[in-house]
Amino acid sequence: MYLSFFNLSEMPFTLTPNTQFFCALAPHHEAMQVLTTALSMGEGFIKVTGEVGTGKTLLCRKLLNQIEQEYCVAYLPNSYLGPDELRWALAVELGMEVDKTLDQQALSQLINHHLLALQSENKRVVLLIDEAQCLSWDALEALRLFTNLETESEKLIQVVLFGQPELDDKLANNRVRQLRQRISFSYTLRAMTAAEVIYYINHRLQVAGFNQPPLFNNQLGLKIARASRGIPRLVNILCHKTLLQAYGEGVSSVSAAHIKLAVKDTEDCTAMTFNKQWAYFAIAITVLSIAVLGLWRQAL
């Protein structure tokens, strides 16, 4: 690949949610603050939604890494589960050794006793569910019943749901109104602005070991931002393909032509049709925004 060609120590734009590349831009920084605050307050249900590719799984894993020493964490990356499967998955994640011949009522009682035992040891339990929009109606009801487990002062388990906007649609249904009313904190991840896209690209390159003048200047970053609509996954795909184009031609800098080819080769990207006057104005605004963003990042 192009690692040695561009003097990189690792691939900067892979689709694997690697928390080393976590970039605390406004949407993800705010979401993390909401999550940590809600968990510290002992709230039962917390929800984070966002469009496909906006970084929900990365945020979930960042939270998992950040809290695992303070909490007993159960993480379910696959939410295609019925209520029975959900109970078994939770028991396994909590490290329980249970007889597979148990009926669901007995299993629920064992989970309850285990949660009480953890609470007596001052261990807080949180269940993280990714792709929560895939949960069945019955599984959602099972989750609600889990949060009925509580002492006089606190919940025995907290649940964090990460999902696409379809999760909001599902929770708007009257049949899960009881669960919906228990969601005390929620956050919706937005796409990145043009300035954030440029900062994001350079951040990932720096983490990957790049220490030379920017490969993507502001004008090229703006093209990536427009084509990707600010969606991190699409930004990664376009940047990766752009670097491949440059590497294939044996040139150490990227160009608008490389980005154009990357956009043409990528599903769900917006074709680039730039009016020059508008492009210059947009670049000026983006440069100003990057300067403000840099000051904001330094103040964190």
Residues 52 and 170 occupy one common structural domain: yes
Instruction: Return the number of other C-beta atoms located less than 10 Å from residue 300's C-beta.
Output: 6
Q: Tens of pLDDT along the chain (300 residues)?
A: 789 999 999 999 999 999 999 998 999 999 999 999 999 888 789 999 999 999 999 999 999 988 877 789 999 998 898 999 999 999 999 999 888 888 888 998 999 999 999 988 888 899 999 999 999 999 999 998 888 877 767 888 999 999 999 999 999 999 999 999 999 999 999 999 999 999 999 999 999 999 988 899 999 999 999 999 999 999 999 999 999 999 999 999 999 999 999 999 998 887 654 444 445 455 555 555 655 566 555 566
Q: pTM to 2 decimals? A: 0.85
Q: Are the CB atoms for 239 and 11 separated by under 8 Å?
A: no
In-domain check, residue 15: no
In-domain check, residue 6: no
Q: DSSP letter at 211?
A: -
| CA proximity to 45, closest of 173, 194, 146, 165 | 146
Q: Quick one: 97 exposed, middle or buried, by C-beta within 10 A (0-12, 13-18, 19+)?
A: exposed
Residues 162 and 46 occupy one common structural domain: yes
pLDDT for residue 278: 42
Residues 216 and 67 occupy one common structural domain: no
Residues 185 and 199 occupy one common structural domain: no
Reading phi first (left if > 0) and then psi (alpha if -120 to 50, else beta), residue 209 is in left
Residue 9: alpha-carbon gap to chain centroid: 24
Residue 275: alpha-carbon gap to chain centroid: 34
Host domain of residue 221 = 192-299
Residues 182 and 86 occupy one common structural domain: yes
Question: Sheet of 45-50: strands edge to edge?
Answer: 71-76, 124-129, 158-163, 45-50, 183-189
Residues 130 and 251 occupy one common structural domain: no
The tens digit of pLDDT for each residue in 109-149 reads 999 999 999 988 888 899 999 999 999 999 999 998 888 87
The interaxial angle of helices 137-146 and 83-93, nearest 10 deg, is 50
Q: DSSP letter at 160?
A: E
Residues 132 and 270 occupy one common structural domain: no
The tens digit of pLDDT for each residue in 172-190 reads 999 999 999 999 999 999 9
Q: DSSP letter at 153?
A: S
Partners of residue 46 on adjacent β-strands: 160, 185
Tell me the three state secondary structure of residue 274: coil
Q: What DSSP assignment string belongs to 60-91?
A: HHHHHHHHTTTEEEEEES-----HHHHHHHHH
Q: Are the CB atoms for 270 and 229 separated by under 8 Å?
A: yes
| CA proximity to 170, closest of 141, 210, 199, 204 | 141
